[in-house]
Amino acid sequence: MVEEKVNQLVHAVTGVILQHADELTALDQAIGDGDHGVNLKRGAEAVLAELPKLDGKPIGEVLRAAGMQIVMKVGGASGPLIGTWAMELGKHLPPAPAYVDVAKALEAAFLAVKARGKSEEGQKTMLDVLGPAVRAMQANADPAAIKAIVQAAAEATIPIRATRGRASFLGDRSIGHMDPGARSSSLIIAAVCDHQSKVEPAN
Amino acid sequence: MITNVGIVIVSHSPKIAEGAADMVRQMVGDSVPLAFTGGDPGGGLGTSVEAIMEAIEQAWSPSGVAVLVDLGGAESNSEMAISLLPDEKRALVAICNAPVVEGAVIAATEASGGSSLKTVRRTAEELSPQ
């Protein structure tokens, strides 16, 4: 039963990436090299191809394997960043994680992405979504609230002037566009929240 | 067996990687282990962790390997590739903060004289404003 949920969760997350690939690419065309959607689509497909081999494995192992596929197949900077995020989550999640376990794993994964990208919050990157998500869980927010927080956090990257990543080459011209990495992270977290609301309705 | 420091060139563009490698060969011939990689796993512009790991293996030298990269993703993917190497090799690979073409030629020239990885890296990095 637990394994079946893991499987569904992976399908939910990869599904949302595949569904929004064109949008992510369009965002990246505005302030980057225009390959974010294409790259993540390749990563999502690689994860789906790996999934049958992970049948019945605990969530930690599935996330570590998914992260490695993302690292190997994405091809852009988002590969090591999102891949590290997934691998680190996998490293810290016990087989049947409670809310507090997820909160702790999310914080560890956030710190790992920060280190991998040598970046801080406020630079118009995925960290601007991952940071608020960590704090929302530390404040015991429910899935619906976390979803609203990450969506607002991605929107909040629009007025930021990028100081990390390729968008930083544009200087002031990066202002007025949503960061593609913040958007993809918000989509992933929102998909997980939706999935949680569905399997464990708030009582 | 060549014991000079090896050079790996990582560019988003396979053509730039190959062209930079040609310029290195013109300068140092076969005196330095050299490998290059460019392009993402789907064949587009970008870089591949797997291909970078293979390039490091190919240019391996007991004295270490200096890696020259172009933009952001090339650096992140190279760092990721290095982190996935076996422990005993990881410490012997250094990414140089230098322009990829000039850095590769200068690093290789320094390496061809038998310099240490530290010196090769420092020489390449003298090209970048500190």
> For residue range A18-69, what is the model confidence (pLDDT) as tens digits?
999 999 999 999 999 999 999 999 999 999 999 999 999 999 999 999 999 9
pLDDT higher than 70, residue B82: yes
Average pLDDT value for residue range B11-36: 97
Instruction: Report the largest interatomic distance among the alpha carbons of chain B, rounded to a whole angstrom.
Output: 38
pLDDT higher than 70, residue A2: no
- Say what the pLDDT of residue A1 is: 42
Give CATH for domain A2-199.
1.25.40.340
Hey, what amino acid is at B129?
P
Cα nearest neighbour of A34 on chain B: B45
- Say what the pLDDT of residue A3 is: 66
Cross-chain Cβ contact A76/B73 below 8 Å: yes
Q: What is the pLDDT of residues A136-175, one digit of tens each?
A: 999 999 999 999 999 999 999 999 999 999 999 999 999 9
Share of chain B above pLDDT 90, in %: 93
B66: left (phi over 0), alpha (psi -120 to 50) or beta: beta
Cross-chain Cβ contact B46/A75 below 8 Å: yes
Q: Enumerate the domain spans of chain A.
A: 2-199
* A4 — pLDDT class (breaks 50, 70, 90): confident
Question: From CA B114, how far away is CA B108, in angstroms rounded?
Answer: 10
What are the residues whose beta carbons fall under 8 Å from the beta carbon of B122, sequence distance 6 or more? none
Give the pair of three-digit tokens for residue B104.
Answer: 């590769």
Q: Domains in chain B, please, with CATH?
A: 6-125 (3.40.50.510)
Cα nearest neighbour of A165 on chain B: B72
Q: What is the pLDDT of residues B107-126, one digit of tens each?
A: 999 999 999 999 999 999 99
Question: From CA B82, how far away is CA B51, in angstroms rounded?
Answer: 12
| Mean pLDDT lowest among A171-185, A188-202, B105-119 | A188-202
Mutate to test the interface with B, among A69, A73, A81, A164 (most CBs of B within 10 A): A73
| Mean pLDDT lowest among A6-10, A12-16, A44-48, A84-88 | A6-10
Tell whether B54 is within 8 A of chain A (Cβ): no
- Say what the pLDDT of residue A197 is: 86
**ipTM field:** 0.87
Q: What is the DSSP string of A128-170?
A: HHHHHHHHHHHTT--HHHHHHHHHHHHHTTTTPPP-SSGGGGG
* A203 — pLDDT class (breaks 50, 70, 90): very low
